[in-house]
Structure 1
Amino acid sequence: MPEVTTILGPFQPALQVLATHAAAQQCAVWVVGGTLRDALVGRPIHDVDLAVDGDATALARAAADALGAAFVPLDEERAVTRVVLAGGAVLDFARLRAPTLAADLLARDFSANALAAPLRPDGSVGPLIDHVGGAAAIAAGVLHMCSPATFADDPLRILRATRLASQLGWTLDPSLDAALRAAAPRIAAISAERVRDELLALLATRWSAPWLRYLDRAGVLAVLLPELGPTHGETQPIIHFLDVWEHTLEAICCGEWVLAQLADDARPAPPSPPADRADPYPPAFFNHPVAARSHPGLRAELQWAGQVLAHMQQPLPGQHSRIGLWKLALLLHDIAKPATRADKPDGGVSFHGHQDIGADMARRICQRLRLSRAEVEYVHTVVRGHMRPGQLNDLGEITPRAAYRFFRDLDPAAADTLLHSLADHLATRGPKLSPPHWAMHLAWTDAMLGFHWDGAREQQKRAPLVDGHTLMRELNVSAGPQVGELLEAIREAYAAGEISSSDDALALARRLQA
């Protein structure tokens, strides 16, 4: 097992300063929790969790002043504070939550998070303190409870367990699995904000689909997202091979596979979550797309892969991963199918308008989860627009005007919606997928992304043919909606290649005004 002091080397100068102030204040300090867990499994360390036997707030403030760092109170009642170092690294301070360190560790959630190592006077870190077998759990890759009261003490740990297992590629101890299922109804007592953060963190992981299936079978999703209930068993047209709910999970699985393909990420799937007996679609089913299993050589390659991956890393206003929000949209994209079902005389079925009604349902769910306004509108846009790529593709050759309107209407989620369409295609067809049709869909997506990223739109933004003041002066009109409508018509005609100069733009505006 690696030396903790070596792993925390980049934090050593700050820890030395901290040790000096801890000695002056006669405080005992330990590095604890997720920092040690991540260090021992080899994950990058961006923050150090510290437990303090003493005045944690005063110690954090003194360290921040000495280091020229920012001091951020997080929870005054529990003496939880943060020190943000130059460069963005973080020291998180918390007062012991029990009379002794041993009692504090035993009250934590999982054994892998119940490790401690003392901060020595010279700033180095001493040997591990492990009262509940955390080091062995880390070595085995198994999540264990610290005590039978783990989920009763904080039901949010139900989601945290699945998020950690998905992030780390671990399995659940059988006793934890049983306790989690028994505690599932308790998740209703947790605040929307805490649920939101853990759910989106789970969705941001590489293999979230199997864990969503596990949460479904454990009864957790029924409490958190009851609107998904009617999708279970909802049959679909013959083009599909799964019902609405299983299709939804398969779409998330396919979305994860597409992103991995674009990133050349060929990691094998980790161990699967626990499965119910006789489940025809256990969590392991959603480790790898059925279409890819049916066609072993299937690939998802795009000319614009680098730009797509960079785009998916761009944050929206708010604190959550764009990928997590994108997969939330996948989770909700067909939520209104049961409400819009229409059975046809010939035995067929349709779901006309499910994207619009579903978008409104998704908006209400996102608002309930206390997402930021921009995040709510992002999910709403992807759900509302998820049928548009297929409809546009069915029209044949892409016209510049149609492409312009697509990116205008779905901004800032247009590229995300194109990715959604790829995932939906795979999840719909599954074993019936036509590889040539898949290749054509990829080529069409590349062409659409090329319109978006080949520089034409950015050039258009930098050098508009006319501005609002020019229109008002030349057409003798006042400021108002009409000016905005004319400017949009000019931008669209420019994108379509129908005009190319200021004179053309003014002539078009005069024709439209007439």
Structure 2
Amino acid sequence: MPKDETAYSDQDERRWAALQGRQVVGVGRDPEEAYRAAKTRRPKEEPTALVPAGAGANDVDQWPQRLERLFADNPWAARTRELLCSRLSDVYLVGGCVRDLMLGRPIHDLDIVMSDDAVQWGRRLADQLGAGFYVLDVERGFARVVLLRENHPRIFLDLSRIEGERIEEDLARRDFTINALALELCAGRLIDPFDGEGDVRRRILRPVTPQAIANDPIRAVRAVRLAAELGFSVDASLLEAIRRDAGGLAEESPERIQQELHRMLSLPNSAEALRRMSGLGLWRYTIPELEGLAGVGQSAPHQLDVWDHTLLTVARLEELLRAIGLPAEDGGRLMPEEWAFLEPYRPALRRHLEQELAEERPRWQALKWAALLHDIAKPAARRVDEVGRVRFLDHARKGAEMAEEIMRRLRFSQREISYVCACVAHHLRPLLLSRERELTPRAQYRFFRDLGDAGLGVCLLSLADTAACRPGRPPAEVWEPVQRVVQALLEFFSRTGGPAGMPRLVTGEDLIQRFGLAPGPAVGRWLERVREEQAAGTFATREEALRWLEQVISGKEGGKSL
């Protein structure tokens, strides 16, 4: 009796089947062999799917249903499909959006490949959708359509021409099997020549070919980032390829390195990914300064070397951000006990940290860079004093200089660089304030005056840094003084809005016309003194401020000089 090709035995478990609808039209030991078998049997027809032997009809049928759900939830995607499918047949969703559709993750961007001119189609879609458009790569014909909707995230439609004669050839050029998936846009048929669907189910990251990293070394960093983002394990063959071929990162553009590292650090659980970067030797090609932190010992209360302390600082900051509610999709949980004192300030902190320093790059992401780089200068600054205590003299200032050099090299925006450098330069300030006998309103005012929009970030970085002096809870005698200072600073900011939020009671014009001061630097110094006295509670209204000025300028408290 001939074998029923729609049934499978245990021996077929590692074989592949080419399907035409629900009918098996070819079987092979791998997708290519199954494809060739199908073409031999039906040379004029293309298989509708390549699946592992044993995949049932439900596995094949669910893709059109998933596609329909995507279009039902996203009118812009439905309109894109309608426009493309009215004129084209060889058009596919590819890569991460197909993977995320399978995983049930939110989809904001679509990657589309087609057999036609992608740049021309990009212009047509932009016109029809009322969207922006630009060419990403003239030579390769890559285009991007940008949809901007009020109160919604920006959406990208990336379009390109199929590389090769068939979609399978295009997919063979991609990085990982979970990204080497194509979904026929019009009919919902899955093209999966490398068992990417199976790897998604197995939650494993595997290279499409052994040369995947050598062909594009930035994939080494992307592998670490994706594994952390998706919670996937990394196949041994991919780890081997990274160790063998990641040296090509030394020739990679700084912009691409920055983009992958920034996406990694923006994850809510980036600390372990940063550790894996170290284990794979990838920092030497991306931020070599970080390699010097490992093995640098510290004195009590620290129990970790500088590298492990840095990773724990990032992890503590991530805990703190989650308690505040950031990132938005990961936050909103109950405030853990150790961060409960932040509860009254949570809305204001979240609003502040969600403000963008660069396009679609909020302040909290830059704060995580500050956590990664806050002790970057400790190896160079390390000294052992006469009693054997390890000291890192001036490491905060030197660290800010190194952070600036690193971030300029990686092509960050000036606002991001300035913010991170200010956080690094002043991350010890709350600790130093905790050693003062009293934290006066004037000291609180000067803290925010000097630090500007980095003030709140320094408060949070200082908490994370202090909490990371050792695994578990920090000693009370270390933690409580810093906590009290930060709480007082947050309370001051909440009450006054900081220097920028305080009403201006007196102007330079007042000082010149009413009190006879000559224009010049002295006017600025008097205005600053007024601001300090206002912060200290000496007065609260314009009238009170003017009376105070009249007293001190008339000579009762110091005359016109300052």
TM-score for both structures, normalised by structure 1: 0.86
The more displaced of 190-199 and 423-432 is: 423-432
1:73–1:80 CA contact under 8 A, matched in 2:
yes
Q: Distance in 2 between matches of 1:480 and 1:81?
A: 55
Structure 1 match to 2:403: 362
* C-alpha deviation, 1:196, in angstroms: 0.7
- Aligned residue runs from structure 1 range 320-469, under 5 A: 320-431=361-472, 433-435=474-476, 438=479, 441-457=482-498, 460-461=501-502, 463-469=503-509
Q: Distance in 2 between matches of 1:264 and 1:481?
A: 43
Secondary structure in 1 matching 2:182 = strand
* C-alpha deviation, 1:485, in angstroms: 3.1
Does structure 1 residue 497 correspond to structure 2 residue 537? yes
Secondary structure in 2 matching 1:412 = helix
Residue by residue over 1:53-86, the C-alpha shift from the partner in whole angstroms, topping out at 9 and shown as x without a partner, is 1111111111211222222322222222222235
Aligned-pair identity in percent equals 36
Q: 1:152 to 1:481 in 2, by over 3 A?
A: farther
* C-alpha deviation, 1:110, in angstroms: 1.0
Structure 2 match to 1:484: 524
2:311–2:372 CA contact under 8 A, matched in 1:
yes
Q: 1:300 to 1:512 in 2, by over 3 A?
A: farther
Secondary structure in 1 matching 2:458 = helix
Q: 1:177 to 1:145 in 2, by over 3 A?
A: same
Residue by residue over 1:115-151, the C-alpha shift from the partner in whole angstroms, topping out at 9 and shown as x without a partner, is 111122xxxx512211111111112221111111111
2:467–2:473 CA contact under 8 A, matched in 1:
no
- Aligned residue runs from structure 1 range 160-309, under 5 A: 160-263=222-325, 299-301=338-340, 302-303=342-343, 304-309=345-350
Secondary structure in 1 matching 2:514 = helix
Residue by residue over 1:349-376, the C-alpha shift from the partner in whole angstroms, topping out at 9 and shown as x without a partner, is 2112111111111111111111111111
1:184–1:218 CA contact under 8 A, matched in 2:
no
1:298–1:435 CA contact under 8 A, matched in 2:
no
1:35–1:49 CA contact under 8 A, matched in 2:
yes
Residue by residue over 1:95-114, the C-alpha shift from the partner in whole angstroms, topping out at 9 and shown as x without a partner, is 22333211111111111111
Equivalent residues, number: 479
Q: Distance in 2 between matches of 1:66 and 1:481?
A: 58
Q: Distance in 1 between matches of 2:477 and 2:346?
A: 20
2:517–2:560 CA contact under 8 A, matched in 1:
no
Structure 2 match to 1:290: none
Does structure 1 residue 10 correspond to structure 2 residue 73? yes
Q: Distance in 1 between matches of 2:484 and 2:159?
A: 51
Q: Distance in 2 between matches of 1:432 and 1:31?
A: 48
1:231–1:244 CA contact under 8 A, matched in 2:
yes
* C-alpha deviation, 1:457, in angstroms: 3.8
Secondary structure in 1 matching 2:110 = strand
* Root-mean-square deviation over aligned CA pairs: 2.6
1:201–1:324 CA contact under 8 A, matched in 2:
no
Residue by residue over 1:300-355, the C-alpha shift from the partner in whole angstroms, topping out at 9 and shown as x without a partner, is 22121233233322221355343332222112111212222221121112112111
Secondary structure in 2 matching 1:394 = coil
The more displaced of 5-14 and 494-503 is: 5-14
* C-alpha deviation, 1:190, in angstroms: 0.8
Q: Distance in 1 between matches of 2:110 and 2:440?
A: 53
Q: Distance in 2 between matches of 1:321 and 1:201?
A: 12
Q: Distance in 2 between matches of 1:113 and 1:485?
A: 61
Q: Distance in 1 between matches of 2:68 and 2:490?
A: 47
1:204–1:321 CA contact under 8 A, matched in 2:
no
Q: 1:509 to 1:456 in 2, by over 3 A?
A: farther
1:14–1:67 CA contact under 8 A, matched in 2:
no
Q: Distance in 1 between matches of 2:227 and 2:235?
A: 11
Does structure 1 residue 152 correspond to structure 2 residue 214? yes
Q: Distance in 1 between matches of 2:231 and 2:416?
A: 28
* C-alpha deviation, 1:233, in angstroms: 1.4
Q: Which amino acid aligns with 1:97?
A: E
Structure 2 match to 1:93: 159
1:203–1:323 CA contact under 8 A, matched in 2:
no
Q: Distance in 2 between matches of 1:72 and 1:457?
A: 42
Q: Which amino acid aligns with 1:382?
A: C
Structure 2 match to 1:69: 131
Structure 2 match to 1:142: 204
2:445–2:499 CA contact under 8 A, matched in 1:
no
Q: Which amino acid aligns with 2:387?
A: D
Structure 2, unmatched stretches of 5+, are 1-61, 331-335
The more displaced of 483-492 and 7-16 is: 7-16
**RCO higher in structure (CA 8 A, sep ≥6):** 1
Q: Which amino acid aligns with 1:299?
A: E
Secondary structure in 2 matching 1:299 = helix
* C-alpha deviation, 1:499, in angstroms: 3.3
Secondary structure in 1 matching 2:546 = helix
* C-alpha deviation, 1:203, in angstroms: 0.6
2:449–2:499 CA contact under 8 A, matched in 1:
no
Q: 1:149 to 1:509 in 2, by over 3 A?
A: farther
* C-alpha deviation, 1:16, in angstroms: 3.7
Q: Distance in 1 between matches of 2:446 and 2:132?
A: 45
Q: 1:183 to 1:361 in 2, by over 3 A?
A: same
The more displaced of 34-43 and 497-506 is: 497-506
Match of 2:107 among 42, 45, 48: 45
Q: 1:128 to 1:451 in 2, by over 3 A?
A: same
Q: 1:182 to 1:513 in 2, by over 3 A?
A: farther
Structure 2 match to 1:110: 176
2:71–2:78 CA contact under 8 A, matched in 1:
no
1:27–1:54 CA contact under 8 A, matched in 2:
no
1:312–1:323 CA contact under 8 A, matched in 2:
yes
* C-alpha deviation, 1:262, in angstroms: 3.8
* C-alpha deviation, 1:21, in angstroms: 4.9
1:163–1:202 CA contact under 8 A, matched in 2:
yes
2:381–2:393 CA contact under 8 A, matched in 1:
yes
Structure 2 match to 1:291: none
